[in-house]
Amino acid sequence: MANEAEFNSPVPGATPLRVGAVGLRVRDIEAMVAFYRDTIGLDVLVRDRTGASLGVGGTVLLVLEHQPTARIDDPRTAGLFHAAFLMPTRADLARFLRNLATRGPALTGVADHHVSEAVYLDDPEGNGVEVYADRPAAQWRRDGEAIRITTEPLDVNGLLASVNGETLYRDAPEGMRIGHVHLRVGDLDVAQRFYGEILGFDVTARMRGAVFLSSGRYHHHVAVNSWRSAGAPLRDPDRTGLSWLEFVADGECHAAIVRRLAAAEADPDHPSDPWGTRIRLTPV
């Protein structure tokens, strides 16, 4: 059985470009805050009449924008497939799963992706949520720049057996971040041009109907699929679901993105992806 250290991978937060926070439009703000606070374990950092910001250790990971008259998101349109919360260690994931089994909402799936172990669920408005722990990068199988990403049965018993000592999951552990986002898009080639050629993520894996992209040789910071959304037009701003994505970029990386946006005749100060999802670029 792998030990705790073998499943502790800080790679995604140390890359030149990475995911910061995700913005969601929501109808039932109370139910959504309760889910991300009580099930995922995030702290409520800001709560006002416009919505709520939640995160860990003062770092904002999720912003809920209250839009009570919005129509519920349609999974056949472009938008969020899931936001993926990365646990610092495998034991953190095991504690989360044990807690979910006793008092949380139902799982929608579990998987061993070779590079990571993951559990899946939906929030109260149908937004997909992944909670996962990485295996160390040294164990990932690479073929040049390609990384092997699979979907195999998860060894749930082995995962749960990795918990030592305290088994309760009360709050999200310090260091939890959004490791990646998986998006529904209307066209894979168009998505790859935007998230790859313009934002600067590299393609790391492909499967039928999906492309995975990353910075700094992580397995993926962004995935895009057209499994149900092929041909989808611009997102409807009056629907719930994905509103914006924040990407955090090191100084030169940020400057290069701005130059590429300008060359593509996009607004570097207020960019959006081809389906109207706003992109927030934060330099560090």
What residue ranges do the domains of the chain occupy? 4-283
What's the average model confidence in pLDDT over 153-180? 90
What's the average model confidence in pLDDT over 199-218? 96
Please, how many CA atoms are within 13 Å of residue 262, restricted to the half-sphere of its CB? 7
| 2: pLDDT strictly greater than 60 | no
Q: Residue 45's Cα: distance from chain center in Å? A: 19
Is the C-alpha dihedral spanning 181, 183, 188, 191 positive or negative? negative
* Parallel/antiparallel/unpaired status of strands 278-283 and 241-249: parallel
CA distance to 2, 50, 280, 283, per residue, from 25 (Å)? 40, 10, 16, 25
Please give the Cα distance from 42 to 125 (Å, whole number): 17
| Amino acid 190: pLDDT | 98
Please give the Cα distance from 37 to 31 (Å, whole number): 10
What's the average model confidence in pLDDT over 193-212? 97
Which CATH number applies to 4-283?
A: 3.10.180.10
Please give the Cα distance from 179 to 85 (Å, whole number): 6
Q: How would residue 144 be classed by pLDDT, with cut points 50, 70 and 90? A: confident
| DSSP characters over 105-159 | PPPSEEEE-SSEEEEEEE-TTS-EEEEEEEPPGGGS-EETTEE----B---HHHH
What's the average model confidence in pLDDT over 43-70? 98
| Amino acid 104: pLDDT | 80
User: By C-alpha distance, which of 127, 137, 114 is closest to 8?
Assistant: 137
% of the chain exceeding 70 in pLDDT: 95
| Amino acid 4: pLDDT | 43
Kindly give, in sequence order, each residue whose CB lies less than 8 Å from that of residue 210, ignoring residues fewer than 6 positions away.
188, 223, 224, 225, 226, 227
